[in-house]
Amino acid sequence: MTRAPDGPFAEATEVWPRGGRITIIGELDGADGTSGRWSLLVVPRPKRPRGFARRVHYRLLGARRPLHLAADVRGRTFEAAVPARLLAPLRRRGHWDLYLVAEDGTGPLRVGRWLDDMPGKRHIVTFPPVRTRRTAVRPYFTETEALSIRTVAAR
């Protein structure tokens, strides 16, 4: 078992990249779903811009703003989906981190997979990409077993 985050988190038990979206199903750990409406927060990981033109380019695309997507939370169980078409035009190449947040301020709860007996998932688990016309969108596990999404230009 790998080390879970300190405090509450969202344990992803299923990840399904298919049908133009990445669906994530799991359970809340240390929190419950009675906090009203929940959202999946998809946060672009910052990258160091090189030069003024690049900074302006990313600001115009809105690539630094997180996406708030609906999440269905019932009790301790959650389900959320990230449509690939929403990430594709924002950043052809980038990384996105996933969090669950409730409207009452509960969270953010990092989404990942910590409560299993498989450390080092980053080097073991590979998900198929969801493709748009110009971008491949693929979920992956980070070094800390958190779930993130990578976007790259399609080949």
Share of the chain above pLDDT 70, in %: 85
Confidence at 60, pLDDT banded by 50, 70, 90? very low
Q: Taking the mean position of all CA atoms in its chain, how far away is CA 24? A: 9
Rounded mean pLDDT of 111-134? 89
Pairwise pLDDT comparison (80 vs 120), residue with the higher score: 80
Count how many Cα atoms sit within 13 Å of the Cα of residue 41 in the half-sphere of its side chain.
19
DSSP state of 50: -
Per-residue pLDDT at 28: 94
Per-residue pLDDT at 46: 80
Q: Check whether 31 has a pLDDT greater than 70.
A: yes
pTM of the predicted protein model: 0.85
Domain ranges of the chain: 9-153
Q: Which residues pair with residue 15 across a beta bridge?
A: 24
